[in-house]
Amino acid sequence: MKATLLLLRLEGVLQSWGIKARWDIRDTASAPTKSGVIGMIGCALGYRRDSVELANLFDRLKMAVRIENPGIITMDYHTVQGNLWTAAGNQRNHTIVSKRYYLQDASFLVILEGEKSHIESISAAIQNPKWPIYLGRKSCVPTRPVFEGLTEEYANLEEALRKIPWKWRGAQREPKTTPKTLQCFLEDERCERTRPDHAPMFPSRLYRLRGEKAFRVNLPNEG
């Protein structure tokens, strides 16, 4: 029996998928997080951040990621100024340095698996989103349509990762070298490797751990 899979291509000048960002340092993972992708889908569907519908998406969808082009990490230097109260009860001007990290010119294939009717409704929303969608942060705008297609050609996520043709048109140019293998991440609760990007626990918004399988695949052929 073939699975119903939704294919997304995430490409942009900048992307940022925070995995442990707190306060003045905002990091990025090397690949899209499930929390970030679910947030993007939630925007397309019009779900608010604290809605039950958004939280349910985490359990209704299984995700896989293939890095088409890793891009490079770049840091954006910020300063934030404001007044803080001192122990003496006075206010003084204070400047906070904020380092924010991004993936520059990266490209990812994200594949989602779930119930057919649910996947089809998400597919329609991604193509006609209620709210703007972005790649991790609101400043990170996709440079191409995120929707790549629906397919039932593959038995499961891993087969899709191994067989879907490799594509990358970062900033309308070809990479300097063609990779021999591609890094993949597959959601799998049986694996000891974990990533803290499952459904958040409100009101603290701490994320639960999610099992993940990491492996590399040979470069699939075009066509």
Which residue type does 133 have? I
User: Which structural domain range is residue 112 located in?
Assistant: 5-71+105-218
Can you say how many angstroms the Cα of residue 13 is from the centroid of all Cα atoms in its chain? Answer: 15
Give per-residue pLDDT as tens, 126-155: 999 999 999 999 999 999 999 999 999 999
What total number of domains does the chain contain?
1
In a domain, 214, yes or no: yes
Kindly state whether residue 32 falls inside one of the protein's structural domains.
yes
CA distance 53 to 56: 5
Contact call for residues 173 and 78 (beta carbons, < 8 A): no
Q: Is the pLDDT of residue 38 over 90?
A: yes
What is the mean predicted confidence (pLDDT) over 87-98? 77
Query: Would 122 be classed as within a structural domain?
Result: yes
Query: What pLDDT, in 10s, does the model give residues 207-218?
Result: 778 889 999 999
Query: Tell me, what CATH number does 166's domain have?
Result: 3.30.70.2660
Q: Is residue 42 part of a domain?
A: yes
Inside any domain, residue 87: no
Averaged pLDDT score across all residues of the chain:
87
pLDDT band of residue 100 (cuts 50, 70, 90) is: confident
Beta partners for residue 117, in sequence order: none
